[in-house]
Structure 1
Amino acid sequence: MKTLDEFRSAYRLPLPELILRAAEVHRTHRNYADVQRCALLSIKTGGCPEDCSYCSQSAHYDTPVGRAPLMTVDEVRDRAEQARAAGATRFCMGAAWRAPKDGPEFDRVLEMVRTVRGLGMEACVTLGMLTADQARRLSEAGLTAYNHNLDTSREFYPQIVTTRTYDDRLDTLRAVAAAGISVCSGGIIGMGETEDDRLRMLVELAALATPPESVPINCLMPSKGTPLEMAPAVDSIELVRLIAVARIAFPRARVRLSAGRDRMSRELQILCFLAGADSVFFGEKLLTAPNPDETADAELFRAMGLPASVPAHCS
């Protein structure tokens, strides 16, 4: 699928047919039992100069989230070891920057990447906008993937962010891909966008020269003090439909069921897996937002009859 009409056609299928099609694609191209567990750590929190309307770390808003400086490499190593022991195979690190500056802090992030890779885990970072040289240096450090979400459609984007442009986002994705790093990019639903806005975001991702390795689908977590703090909850069936369409459009990618799981029933999460999601973040927080704890996730996977850890042959 490449065009908006093609995405609409799939999205509007009767739900059982849409889920069955997505499941067939999933079974054909991936191991359905391979649901990757990822851990996400905020390595530098708060004070971001961007004005993203959904973000509690923006310096533009008065939110309960305080500021914390960049963590040390030893702190990150400890947290990565804990995540690995709990079953994570990918360790993701996020810093509240508009763009990292070259210098000691960026060098420290490079060492964090080398440390995580040295533990035998995939390493992903999200640091804001990158230059081509920074992407190259991250690649040389062994970075597995770079997360840089498009958030929403090009048309709706200016209503959510004004401190950077949509093309700024795409330029970073191109720099990451050119450096040989896998692209992780998706969006957030529940910000007041239309269903077409969500599909247009997927159209943008499908148009990339290098398809994304993973597509995170986040449900807005309304944060006190942000412009979207009173946003209504996302419709469950709309979430399932979007995941199914993402699975069909990106058959070899991870479709990551990301933020918002703490508000989802066990049954809704299972429906999302049936529709093609094959990755979750676990741990008590996603950067600054709440998330199901490891015990709840272990019970969820046992209920689905899936292994407690990812099989060694899965990729």
Structure 2
Amino acid sequence: MPNTSPVKFLGYTVNSPLGIAAGLLPNAKWISAYAERGWDLLTYKTVRSVARECYPIPNWVFVQADAGDGPVYATDVLPDDPAEISSAVCFGMPSLEPDFWREDIARAKAALGAGQMLIVSVVATPQPGWSVAQLADDYAQCAAWAAAAGADVVEANYSCPNVCSAEGQIYMDVPLSETVTQTVASALGGLPLLLKVGVLPETDRQRDFLRAVAGLAAGITLVNGIAREVRHADGRPVFGEQYLKAGVLGRVIHEPCVAAVREARAVIDAEQLPLALAAVGGVSSAQDYQGFINAGADAVLCGSSPMYLPDLASEIKQSL
């Protein structure tokens, strides 16, 4: 593995600002395997305060897509170059029960080497009739458990393109985001908190969101996929009518995600907000990585590409 100059991220000294986003690493075995392949910021897939089944198959398909915002279409024909793959997912943020993941996070932490960081992604599981305080407390409970189990950083997932319940769109509600973030931060006792969000459609709302959470959260992770309609060639919804729109990942979303990071960085700098940026979206080469860094990212997290490109971390580190 190429040697890299250590950098600071969220108060820690890490080997590199390169890692894997929430999604690909569901347990300590996966964390360990990818840590050994040179990924330094490892995100444990989103966990809940209760067990939650995955949405039924099909829940991950390869897609053909253009760069617009129209439908994408499921395909069995893959590009010759794995770096060009795009896909769509509809998992619903499944989770094993806390008794499992709390112990497993400790195993994941023990598997990391010097200069590597364990990020644990958490989400609330709202029940019918819950108040805002109950939603916030559920996030905070998961965050506190993750911290106690050994997380270096907790990431609160405020955005999931394929979840129909309230936890999937929290970032769109600025006052709610501020309330939840305040509660979660209070439960962490100073441990760094990241907030994972999607694309904010209006500049004013983006500025208001970033202002509201600055000083509570240490940073923002964006973008959590881009929601588009996912259809078969004949027009049928791939994931059913309830989940017509789902999260699109991979090559096709890279440029929109770079633009989103650039816009967020402009607001953070203009407002002098104490927020780091962890960029996600379609990174499958050293050039893609550098595109995010040039746009203002402090760290770059890959989503699906490490599955298809097992030597990607080495390739990117050779360019640093």
TM-score with structure 1 length normalisation? 0.55
C-alpha distance in structure 2 between counterparts of 1:125 and 1:95, whole Å: 7
What residue is the counterpart of 2:28 in the other structure?
Answer: 77
What residue is the counterpart of 1:14 in the other structure?
Answer: none
Shift of 1:110: 0.8
What residue is the counterpart of 1:216 in the other structure?
Answer: 221
What residue is the counterpart of 1:125 in the other structure?
Answer: 120
Distance 1:175 1:139, change over 3 A: farther
Shift of 1:148: 1.8
Count matched residues. 229
* SS of the residue 2:150 aligns to: coil
C-alpha distance in structure 2 between counterparts of 1:122 and 1:265, whole Å: 21
C-alpha distance in structure 2 between counterparts of 1:119 and 1:245, whole Å: 37
* SS of the residue 1:100 aligns to: coil
Unaligned runs of 5+ in 1: 1-25, 45-70, 307-315
CA RMSD of the aligned region, Å? 4.4
C-alpha distance in structure 1 between counterparts of 2:224 and 2:272, whole Å: 19
1:276 correspondence with 2:287: no
Question: Residue 198 of structure 2 is aligned with which of 161, 183, 188?
Answer: 188
Unaligned runs of 5+ in 2: 1-6, 53-95, 125-137, 231-238
Alpha-carbon contact 1:150-1:201 (below 8 Å) kept:
no
C-alpha distance in structure 2 between counterparts of 1:132 and 1:148, whole Å: 9
* SS of the residue 2:97 aligns to: helix
Distance 1:219 1:41, change over 3 A: closer
Shift of 1:89: 2.4
Q: Which has the higher contact order (CA 8 A, sep 6+)?
A: 1
**Sequence identity (%):** 12
Alpha-carbon contact 1:261-1:291 (below 8 Å) kept:
no
- The one-letter amino acid paired with 2:226 is M
Alpha-carbon contact 1:185-1:216 (below 8 Å) kept:
yes
TM-score with structure 2 length normalisation? 0.55
* SS of the residue 1:148 aligns to: strand
Distance 1:216 1:291, change over 3 A: farther
1:148 correspondence with 2:156: yes
Higher strand fraction: Structure 1 or Structure 2?
Answer: 2
- The one-letter amino acid paired with 1:281 is L
Trace 1:299-310 onto structure 2 (pairs within 5 A).
Answer: 299-303=315-319, 306=320
C-alpha distance in structure 2 between counterparts of 1:295 and 1:217, whole Å: 24
C-alpha distance in structure 1 between counterparts of 2:224 and 2:139, whole Å: 29
Shift of 1:142: 2.0
C-alpha distance in structure 1 between counterparts of 2:286 and 2:118, whole Å: 29
Distance 1:199 1:122, change over 3 A: same
1:113 correspondence with 2:105: yes
C-alpha distance in structure 1 between counterparts of 2:258 and 2:22, whole Å: 27
What residue is the counterpart of 1:37 in the other structure?
Answer: 18
Encode CA deviations 1:172-228: one digit per residue, 9 max, x unaligned.
433332222321014212x7x12333223212222x4x3x23321216434525454
* SS of the residue 1:111 aligns to: helix
* SS of the residue 1:91 aligns to: strand
What residue is the counterpart of 1:137 in the other structure?
Answer: 145
Shift of 1:85: 1.0
Alpha-carbon contact 1:186-1:217 (below 8 Å) kept:
yes
Trace 1:165-180 onto structure 2 (pairs within 5 A).
Answer: 166=173, 169-178=177-186, 179-180=188-189
C-alpha distance in structure 2 between counterparts of 1:229 and 1:41, whole Å: 16
Alpha-carbon contact 1:217-1:243 (below 8 Å) kept:
no
What residue is the counterpart of 2:63 in the other structure?
Answer: none
